[in-house]
Amino acid sequence: MLALIEGLVQAAVLSLTALGLSLVFGVMRVVNVAHGEFFMLGAVIAWWVATLVGTNPALGFIAALIAAPIIAGLIAVITDWLVLKRINYDPEATIVATIGLLYILQQSVLMTFGPDARPVEAPFNTRLAIPWIENTDAGWALYWPWGLSTTSYKLFVIVAAIALLSLIWYIMSRTKLGLILRATQLDSETALAFGIPVERVYALVFGIGAALAAVAAVLIVPIQQAHYLMGADPLLLSFIVVIIGGLGSLRGTVIAALIIGMSDGIISVFFTPTLAKIMATLLVAMVLVYRPQGLFGTRRV
C-alpha cells in the first residue's frame, strides 16, 4: 500500500515530465535532450520563489507553481526562436543544439544556484495513517499500524498530476488548440497551407513541453531537493517512458509512466539500483531496435 502510493507519486511526476517530451517529439518531430534541465530549472525556480516569498510555505508553493512553468516555458520559447527555428528543426542538428542547451542551463544554474542541494518546504504535510485490516483473536479488526503512513502532500501530488493530465487531454481532444496541434503533428506542410501558423505552434509546443517538466519538478521538490544535476534521471526516465509508450503517443506515455513509476520501486527490491538501471537502459535500446513504434504505440508510416 505504501509502495503503491510512493509508486503513484513517481508515476505522476514522471508522466507529466514525459508528456512534455512526448508532446515536443510528437508535434515537432525533434528530441529535446535538454528536457531534464527544464525539470531541474523548475525545481530551482521553486526554491528561489519559496525563498523570496519567505515565511508562508503554502504561499511560496503556489507562487512557484505559477512562476516556474512560465519562466521555464519562456526560456524554451526563446530557445526555439533563437536556435531551433534557425536550424529548421533538423532532427540531428536539434539534438546537437539541445545538448548544448543542456550544458548551458545546467552550468548557468551551477554558477548562480551553486553546487548544493537545497530543500523546499511542502505547503502542507500532515501525516496520514493508513488503516489496515488484520485477523486478530477477536475477528477482523481495523487498525492503524506504526510506520504505515503517508503525507497529505503526496496524495496532493497524485491528485494534481491527474488534474493536469486531464486538462492536457481535454485541450488535445476537445479544443481548437488541440485540433491545431494534432493537425500540425500529422502533416506540418498541409497545416501551413491551411493557414496554421506552424512556427508559432512549434514555439508554443516547445514552451508547453518545458513548462510541463517544470510543473512536475515543482510538485516533487518538497519531497526531493533542488540540485543542479537533478535533470539527468528525469531525462533518462522520460526517454524510457516515451520510447516504451510509443514516440508521440500521449496515451501510451501515461500508461508507460504508470508502469515504470510503479515498477521502479519493485525492481529495486530485487536488484541493486545500478543493476536495475542497466537493465532499464538496455530494455529501452532493445525496444528501439526491435519495436521502434513502442510497446503500446500504433505503427506509424
Q: Which is nearer to other proteins, 47 or 239 (CB)?
A: 239
Q: What is the Rg, in whole angstroms, of the alpha carbon atoms belonging to the chain?
A: 20
DSSP state of 299: P
Which H or E run contains 263? helix 250-270
Residues in 43-72 at the binding interface with other proteins, rule: CB under 8 A: none
Say if residues 214 and 68 touch (Cβ distance below 8 Å).
Answer: yes
Instruction: Give me the least distance between CB of 48 and other proteins, in Å please.
Output: 18
Q: Is 91 in the site for other proteins (CB under 8 A)?
A: yes
Q: Are strands 127-129 and 149-151 parallel, antiparallel or unpaired?
A: antiparallel
Stretch that binds other proteins, among 66-74, 79-87, 202-210, 260-268 (CB under 8 A): 79-87
Rule CB under 8 A: which of 218-257 touch other proteins?
236, 239, 243
> How many CA atoms are closer than 13 Å to the CA of 24, on its beta-carbon side?
33
295 is a site residue for other proteins (CB under 8 A): no
CA–CA gap between residue 27 and residue 184 (Å, rounded): 6
Q: What angle do CA 107, 227, 35 make, to 5 degrees?
A: 65
Question: Contact letters (x/-) for other proteins, 94-113, by CB under 8 A?
Answer: -xxx-xxxxxxxxxx-xx--
CA distances from 162 to 48, 109, 157, 254, 301 (A): 26, 30, 9, 10, 31
Pick one of 93, 155, 162, 172: the residue that binds other proteins (CB under 8 A).
93
Chain position carrying cell 532499464: 280
Closer CB to other proteins, 222 or 231, in the complex = 231
Task: Tell me the closest approach of the beta carbon of residue 83 to other proteins, in angstroms.
Answer: 6
Does residue number 281 form part of the binding site for other proteins (CB under 8 A)?
yes
Pick from 142, 195, 272, 299: which binds other proteins (CB under 8 A)?
272
Is 78 near other proteins (CB under 8 A)? no
Whole-number minimum distance, CB 286 to other proteins, in Å? 8
**Is the Cβ–Cβ distance between 9 and 154 less than 8 Å?**
yes
DSSP 222: T
| Residue 259 identity (one-letter amino acid) | I
**Residue 180 Cβ vs other proteins, minimum distance, rounded to whole Å:** 24
Decide: is 92 part of the binding site for other proteins (CB under 8 A).
yes
Catalog residues that contact other proteins under the rule CB under 8 A: 31, 83, 86-87, 91-93, 95-97, 99-108, 110-111, 115, 236, 239, 243, 272, 274-275, 277-278, 281-282, 284-286, 288-290, 292
